[in-house]
């Protein structure tokens, strides 16, 4: 059972991170289209962003949390190890990032987002840090 949960957790994690990397990149292009006054492109980005967030990103996040929780239930001794606490903090930060993406999605959909493409280029880098931390913590179990 554990190996099935681990495999499903990893598949969901890869899918979630793909969306976490791609949605803010769409925001970069959306902000550029807004600055250029390209209404048709902006309308297209709104649809793409919504479908990515609701159809892939959120279900993947839920699956990551579900399968990860099952693995914790199957391995309760992990809760006594520091690496899992650090990993869970990073996961919570990524859930917050996920919800920040929703805020920007709604702002773009309502033509209220005033953040520029440079902001979103930096914003797009944050999940990379989370991914690195999670992988190193889960593989190395440093404490």
Q: What would the two tokens of residue 23 be?
A: 């949605």
Dihedral sign, CA of 104, 106, 108, 111? negative
Whether residue 85 is annotated as binding a ligand: the answer is no
Number of domains in the chain: 1
Q: Please report the pLDDT score of residue 58 as a whole number.
A: 98
Q: Model confidence over 45-83: pLDDT tens digits?
A: 999 999 999 999 999 999 999 999 999 999 999 999 999
Q: Model confidence over 87-127: pLDDT tens digits?
A: 999 999 999 999 999 999 999 999 999 999 999 999 999 99
Average pLDDT, the chain: 98
Distance CA 45, CA 42 (A): 5
Q: Please report the pLDDT score of residue 86 as a whole number.
A: 98
Q: Please report the pLDDT score of residue 20 as a whole number.
A: 98
Q: Name, in order, each residue with C-beta under 8 angstroms of 133's C-beta and a sequence gap of 6 or more.
A: 86, 87, 90
Q: Please report the pLDDT score of residue 117 as a whole number.
A: 98
Q: Please report the pLDDT score of residue 127 as a whole number.
A: 98
Whether residue 87 is annotated as binding a ligand: the answer is yes
What residue numbers bound the domain in which 97 lies? 2-140
């Amino acid at each position: 059972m554990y190996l099935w949960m681990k495999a499903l957790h990893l598949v969901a994690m890869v899918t979630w991170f793909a969306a976490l990397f791609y949605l803010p990149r769409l925001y970069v292009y959306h902000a550029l289209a807004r600055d250029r006054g390209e209404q048709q492109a902006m309308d297209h980005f709104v649809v793409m962003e919504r479908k990515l967030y609701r159809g892939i990103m959120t279900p993947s996040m839920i699956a990551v949390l579900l399968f990860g929780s099952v693995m914790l239930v199957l391995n309760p001794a992990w809760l006594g190890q520091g690496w899992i606490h650090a990993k869970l903090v990073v996961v919570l930060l990524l859930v917050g990032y996920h919800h920040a993406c929703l805020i920007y999605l709604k702002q773009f959909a309502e033509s209220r987002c005033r953040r520029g493409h440079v902001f979103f280029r930096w914003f797009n880098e944050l999940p990379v840090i989370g991914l690195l931390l999670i992988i190193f913590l889960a593989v190395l179990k440093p404490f």
